[in-house]
């Protein structure tokens, strides 16, 4: 779990129930991505709500067809978290 403390002291991170965020301050939550099953390619894909999909090498690609279909949902979720946490 990666946590960024911003210059003004606020926190930015991916949402988690693992620690009591509300005890630290006022929480704002915004959806960042969706993990969906692609029936045509028999794999899980990561759609980024800022635009695009997760592709090879965990880079953003514009075209859904160029996105990486992950064999397991767990692998897609792990890649999604790595990508988003690198861009907090």
List contacts with another protein (CB under 8 A).
1-16, 18-21, 23-35, 80-81, 84, 88
Residues 6 or more apart whose CB falls under 8 angstroms from that of 11 comprise 3, 4, 5, 21, 24, 25
State in angstroms the smallest separation of the CB of 69 from another protein: 17
Closer residue to another protein (CB): 71 or 73: 73
Closer residue to another protein (CB): 61 or 81: 81
- For residues 10 and 65, what is the distance between their CA atoms, to the nearest angstrom? 37
Closer residue to another protein (CB): 64 or 78: 78
Q: Is residue 52 left, alpha or beta, with left meaning phi > 0 and alpha meaning psi from -120 to 50?
A: left
State in angstroms the smallest separation of the CB of 68 from another protein: 16
What's the Cα-to-Cα distance from 75 to each of 3, 36, 43, 78, rounded to whole Å? 21, 12, 10, 5
State in angstroms the smallest separation of the CB of 61 from another protein: 18
């Amino acid at each position: 779990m990666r946590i960024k403390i911003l210059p003004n002291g606020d926190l930015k991170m991916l949402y988690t129930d693992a620690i009591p965020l509300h005890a630290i301050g006022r929480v704002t939550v915004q959806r960042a991505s969706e993990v969906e099953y692609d029936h045509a390619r028999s794999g899980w894909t990561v759609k980024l709500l800022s635009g695009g999909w997760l592709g090879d090498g965990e880079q953003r690609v514009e075209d859904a067809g160029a996105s990486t279909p992950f064999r397991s949902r767990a692998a897609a979720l792990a890649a999604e978290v790595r990508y988003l946490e690198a861009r907090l």
